[in-house]
A = this chain, B = another copy of it.
Amino acid sequence: MFFGSDNTGPAHPSVMAAMAEANTGFQPSYGDDALMERVRDQIRTLFEAPQASVYLVATGTAANALALATLSQPWQTVFCTPLAHIHTDECNAPEFFTGGAKLSLTGAADKMTPADLRAAIAEWPKGDVHVAQHGPLALTQATERGRIYSCEELAALTRVARDHGLPTYLDGARFANAVAALGCTPADMTWKAGIDAVSMGGTKNGCLGVEAVIFFNPENAWEFELRRKRSAHLFSKHRFLSAQMLEYLKDDLWLDLARTANARAATLVAGLRDLPEAGIVVEPEVNMIFATLPRATHQRLKAAGAAYGLYDGPLDNGPDDEPLMMRLVCDWSITEDHIATFLDLARG
């Protein structure tokens, strides 16, 4: 029962098989491998973006920090939500990679509205040398609370950005889960909605460690390549990043795995809804659930070895019936059995 994150599960067997298959003979290094050529082509096709620049890195933080650094200047501020991963979970990586840009926390929790964004931009008067200058808009899709922006919501936000000359970046660590939930195309959710650059995460969805970074404007390409090398994120045996991504793209594996993960979360939520003492904190839209259970229930679950994040506490001390918030994440490898066991335990 590992619901702690979508990075504690294994890679999908076919991804691992593709790694083994790629492990023969010689290949040019540093991204000049033949597999990368195919990755590039397929991502361009998938995104209906024949001019896009496509790169692979091994971690989501690298994707975010490198993309934002490429789109910003050190004297600017990025606009992101208070719960944005780039703010809360990257140990100042964006500040490091950008050379000291600021993050302006915009909106409430994990989402922002056009009005929030306009207000945040207005905090920093344009053309005033004393203040942080306007930098990129950074959105996360699906969000850190397991919600999604509709394509219309994204378009409305990027329109505000465009009006102020801000480039836009979409942190797609759970890109596939969002596409699966929205039933839209990758193009719909990105450049057609005004997004300039996006990461398409593989690591949390069946890969070992690979994220694609896609710039729809090829002008950013060379700077990104230099930043990737300078930050030590250019792999010599790059074929092993390519092989993962290629398999991930093949026959829509990325989408199938995300659909599975989302479906598992839906099953789990449904089970929780049947528990009178459970409370759903955020209406789940992808593979992540924020819900409360009474302390005593948590004690029982944890004692039985269930792994998941507990936000409130302490676990050991307090009224048995006090509701404590948890985060449950399902990746593709979570089974119906795992869920049943968890719910049985929760039922007591």
Give A residues with C-beta under 8 Å from B: 2, 4-5, 7-11, 13, 16, 19-20, 23-30, 57-62, 64-66, 73-77, 88-93, 95-103, 105, 129-133, 203-204, 208-209, 225-227, 229-237, 240, 307, 333
Contacts and interface: CB of A to CB of B under 8 A. Distances in A.
Contacts of A97: 232
Contact of A91 (B93, B209, B226): B226
A74 B99 contact: yes
A93 B28 CA distance: 22
Contacts of A19: 16, 19, 208
A90 B58 contact: no
Nearest to A22: B10
Nearest to A63: B232
B229 A130 contact: yes
Contacts of A98: 100
Given A61-B232, A93-B232, A95-B101, 13 more contacts: A13-B23, A59-B236, A74-B99, A75-B91, A75-B230, A91-B226, A92-B101, A92-B230, A95-B95, A129-B234, A130-B229, A208-B237, A231-B232
A225 B230 CA distance: 19
Contact of A100 (B64, B99, B133): B99
Contact of A28 (B8, B26, B99, B235): B8
Most central of A13, A129, A235 by chain B CB within 10 Å: A129
Given A16-B19, A19-B19, A236-B59, A96 B231 contact: yes
Contact of A59 (B20, B96, B233): B233
